[in-house]
Structure 1
Amino acid sequence: MTDAQNTTAPQASEATNDAAMKVKRKKMLTLVAAIVIIAAILYALWVFVFHNTVNTDNAYVGADTAEITSMVSGQVEEVRVSDTQQVKKGDILAVIDKSDAQIALAQAEAQLAKAKRQYTQSSANSSSLTSQILVSKDDINSANAQVIQAQVLLEKAQDEYKRRTQLAASGAISKEELATSLSSLNNAQASLNVAKAGLAQAESKQKAAQSNLDANEALIKGTSQNSTPDVLVAQAQVDQAKLDLSRTVIRAPLDGVITNRTIQVGQRVAPGSVLMMVVPLNQIYVNANFKESQLKKVRVGQAATLTSDLYGDSVEYHGKVIGFSGGTGAAFALIPAQNATGNWIKVVQRLPVRIQLDPKELQEHPLRVGLSMDATIDLKSK
């Protein structure tokens, strides 16, 4: 009996050990299977969810701010806005003293009136010069008649002198009478010369009047009082003066918020002086600086989801990729990195990606330039 009990005991012990091993093996297999399943789930999540997005918290709010500058010089008469104030397009921001601009406009208008009067005078001169030409023709005719008359008198005096010379040779007349005849001949010759000079002078006057008429006609030919060059120049000066006068009132070019106001009442400003800035809050975008290794599948037009440190994860913004910067931040730095050195260490570069935000969401939760953002781009979107 004892031998049977001794034989049965080892068998029972072996059966118990086998059962324990089977249970342990089963637990191990179950654990391995669980690990494999969890790994498969994580891989699936990574492939189908996380692998289709890229994320960065190196993103900041930006906007194309409008610099408000003075287009004219003068003393600031009035400033109607202050920093942080909301303005609409066309609102008056500041007023510059108008005195100088008004004087310049008055001078330009006077020059315009003078130019128009000169055109009227030139037109009247044409009529006067035409009359002078007609009068000079009469003078020429009169001078020509005087030349003919003097020519006849000269020929008569020559004949008289010739005849008396012959008579004086025979002693028929006295020497005194011959001298008188010679004097008459000389007077007739002088009268002819005077008549010819008068004719030449009349012809010169006619030529001068014709030249003046031609020059005057060249100034006004094919033009009217409002289209002559002098009037056009004067009119342009008037328009410029009016424009400068209107620029003494500085208006907002777009809707936004005033920031960086630097002017005060009484300050004198010069053209190009920056007076303040207007930030268009409804046209804000985000510059997300992604690593270069993240941009392989990023394309323009892909959807993006963003959160702001200002509102936290409870407020999401939606937008889309609208473009990539032309270079990395290091490339456009004031002192670019010099990699041509012996101790060079490769640093992963970041490229700014611009994301446009939904205007409706911006109205509900306004942002400010420079705020930090967290950006995620959906690579599956188109």
Structure 2
Amino acid sequence: MTPENEGPRDANDDTPPPQPYKYRYKYLHKYGDASPRGERDDDTDDEKNDGKGEDENARKDGEQGKEEKKEDGKKDDDKKEDPKAKRKKVIVLSVIAAVFILAGLTWLLLYIFVFSQRETTDDAYVKGDMVTISSRVAGTVVEVAVEETDRVHAGQVLIRLDPVDARVSLMNAEGQLAQAVREAQARMQQANQADAAIPQRRAQYEQARDEYNRRHPLLERRAVSAEEVDTGRRQMQQALAALQAAEREAAAAHAQVDGTTVEDYPAVIQARAQFRNAWVNNGRNAIVSPIEGYAARRQVQVGQRIQPGQDLLTVVPLQDLWVDANFKETQLEHIRIGQPVKISTDMYSDVEYHGKVVGLNAGTGSAFSLLPAENATGNWIKVVQRLPVRIALDAEDLRRHPLRVGLSTDVNVDTHDRDGKVLAETPRTKPLAVTNVYEREMGEADQRAEEIIKANTVDATPKPLPARRGA
């Protein structure tokens, strides 16, 4: 096929036939122009003009063809789309929409029946009593019986002090008690002796009175001298005064001992108290544990000189622990006493503890801090406060999985039952903690004092005089 711009060719022309412009430019770009220079120069202007036109026409034709092909392809795709694919697409979209709707409904139901019925916090820590062991007397430490982490029992000796000074004081108090007992018996015998002197003085008075009464009538008969009568009168008066003095002495002696026994005599009671104090101080050289627990924070060494009240050791009863959960004030609306609680700790990741709310603190942490916040100042920023809520742990859970004081926990309070009280209405009827360790010391002291009193009590009943021979 001859191109439109190609004319008739000479039969003797050996030059290659000219190519169409759209092919010629491709050929020239690839292989270069092999025609003579003159021909290229002559044909340059025509080729440029004709080439530009042909290129623009070809470009427009190509763009139109592409657009037509796209439209034809879309039409063909629409025609070829299967109704089953449409149905499948609708089903997939419907399933996705149903899943989202179901997830939203599930979340709504969880919030209504679960999330809105509980309060959680991770600002919660295990707390417990920390009993500080201190000395009640001054002394030098000669023995430390326990180390940190050791188990201790109630009444177990933890620390011993040098007992020399206390033993000397105890011996002195024992001697004073014995002396007081004997003095009390002597006072009682003195009262009896004063009672015995009264009849003697009375007899002397009666004798002097009778003699005076006999001599006084004889004075008128001049049977006796006036001097004798005066002497008799004076003797009678002296005997009367001696009788009255004896009665007063007896009354004074009885005022000291009447209504008492040797055990109840005031001096004996005082000496007994001093002996008891010395006995207890001697026993306090052995510092004992008041409760069951574990030793911690040992601060005492052998040879150390300690003073009364100085901190030496701490005993922690790990069987009686609780959790203080610090809830935000926005979480306290539905928390009530008695609500069940679930607790988890980092120490036991797979263990869930059970407990219950036993009370809400009387103030926030900032209110009881060492330096409370001054909210009346000009530079004020609102900060959400936290209130400690005490949670009692189940004793069986605590026995199976012991905790330590200060461990962090995650607390989940079930607030479904909201009929409980926010504050306790009745006072505690039983003591929170009791120990009878120190009562043993008092009992032992009383027992030893009774032994001393009995050992120094003698039988003061007068023994009858033996009968004289021939009487």
TM-score normalised to the size of structure 2?
A: 0.64
The equivalent of 2:344 in structure 1 is: 307
* Distance in 2 (alpha carbons) for counterparts of 1:308 and 1:353: 17
Greater Cα radius of gyration, structure 1 or 2? 2
Per the TM alignment, residue 258 of structure 1 is displaced from its structure 2 partner at its CA by 1.1
Quote the Cα distance in structure 2 between the aligned partners of 1:13 and 1:120.
132
The SS at the match of 2:172 is helix
Correspondence for 2:390: 354
Instruction: Name the counterpart of 2:111.
Output: 46
2:198 and 2:282 mapped to 1: Cα distance?
49
Separation of aligned partners in 1, 2:407 and 2:322: 11
Which amino acid is the alignment partner of residue 88 of structure 1? H
CA shift for structure 1 position 307: 2.0
Q: 1:118 aligns with which of 183, 207, 228?
A: 183
Secondary structure of the residue aligned to 1:76 is strand
SS in 2 for 1:109: helix
Q: Which string of whole-angstrom CA distances, capped at 9 and with x for unpartnered residues, describes residues 65-85 of structure 1?
A: 111122223222211112222
Query: In the alignment, is residue 374 of structure 1 matched against residue 410 of structure 2?
Result: yes
Q: CA separation in 1, counterparts of 2:142 and 2:310? A: 16
SS at match of 2:378: coil
Residue 382 of structure 2 aligns to a residue whose secondary structure is coil
1:22-42 C-alpha deviation (Å, 9 max, x unpaired): 988876665544332211111
The answer to whether 1:62 aligns with 2:127 is yes
Residues 148 and 13 of structure 1, relative CA distance in 2, 3 Å threshold: closer
In the TM superposition, residue 286 of structure 1 has moved relative to its aligned partner by 1.2
Shift of 1:292: 1.3
Mapped to 2, the partners of 1:153 and 1:107 lie a distance apart of: 69
Deviations 1:123-181 (A, max 9, x none): 22233212221221232234335645775786677x99xxxxxxxxxxxxxxxxxxxxx
Query: What CA distance in whole angstroms lies between the structure 2 residues aligned with 1:25 and 1:131?
Result: 131
1:106 corresponds in structure 2 to 171
| Counterparts of 1:100 and 1:205, CA distance in 2 | 53
Q: Where do 5+ consecutive residues of structure 2 fail to align? A: 1-73, 421-471
1:211 counterpart (233, 238, 248): 248
CA spacing shift, 1:33–1:342, aligned 2, 3 Å: farther
C-alpha change, 1:108 and 1:34, in structure 2 (3 Å) is same
SS in 2 for 1:281: coil
Q: How does 1:133-172 map to 2 (within 5 A)?
A: 133-144=198-209, 147=212
Read off the aligned partner of 2:166 and give its amino acid letter: A
Q: Which string of whole-angstrom CA distances, capped at 9 and with x for unpartnered residues, describes residues 248-299 of structure 1?
A: 2222222222112222222233332222110111112111101111122212
Q: Does 1:317 align with 2:350?
A: no
Higher relative contact order (CA 8 A, sep 6+): 1
- Specify the alignment match of 1:326 in structure 2: 362
Q: Is the 8 A contact 2:194 2:253 kept in 1?
A: no
Partner letter of residue 123 of structure 1? M
Kept in 1, the 8 Å contact 2:318–2:404? The answer is: yes
1:365 equivalent in structure 2: 401
What do residues 198-240 of structure 1 show as CA deviations (whole Å, max 9, x unaligned)?
3333222211211111122222223322233333333333333
Select between 90-99 and 55-64 the one with higher mean Cα deviation: 90-99
Separation (CA, whole Å) in 2 of partners of 1:274 and 1:150: 89
Task: State the match for 1:175 in structure 2.
Answer: none
Residue 284 of structure 2 is matched in structure 1 by: 247
How far does residue 331 in structure 1 lie from its aligned partner after superposition? 0.7
Q: CA–CA distance in 1 between the matches of 2:144 and 2:154?
A: 16
Q: What is the aligned partner in structure 1 of residue 448 from structure 2?
A: none
Distance 2:233 2:299 in 1: 83
Aligned residue number for residue 260 of structure 1: 297
Shift of 1:373: 1.4
| Mapped partners of 2:139, 2:370: distance in 1 | 36
1:77 corresponding residue in structure 2: 142
1:132 corresponds to 2:169: no
**Aligned equivalents of 2:268 and 2:236: distance in 1?**
41
Between the aligned partners of 1:208 and 1:74, the Cα distance in structure 2 is 55
**Which deviates the most, 367-376 or 243-252?**
243-252
Task: Pick closer, same or farther for the CA change 1:271–1:156 going to 2, 3 Å.
Answer: farther
For 2:197, the aligned partner's letter is Q
Aligned length: 344
In 1: Cα distance, 2:210 partner to 2:290 partner: 80
Normalising to structure 1: TM-score of the pair? 0.78
Give, in angstroms, the shift of residue 13 of structure 1: 6.6
Secondary structure of the corresponding residue to residue 124 of structure 1: helix
SS of aligned partner of 2:350? strand
Q: What secondary structure does 2:403 align onto?
A: coil
Secondary structure of the residue aligned to 1:351 is strand
Q: Distance in 1 between matches of 2:175 and 2:149?
A: 45
Secondary structure of the corresponding residue to residue 122 of structure 2? strand
Name 1:238's counterpart in structure 2.
275
Q: CA RMSD in A?
A: 3.3
| Paired residue type of 1:199 | M
Equivalent residue number for residue 87 of structure 1: 152
For structure 1, the residue ranges without an aligned partner over 5 or more in a row are 1-8, 161-184
Residue type at the aligned position of 1:245:
N
Q: Distance in 1 between matches of 2:232 and 2:308?
A: 70
| CA deviation after TM superposition for structure 1 residue 305, in Å | 1.8
CA offsets per residue over residues 83-118 of structure 1, 9 Å max, x none?
A: 222222222101122223323332332222222222
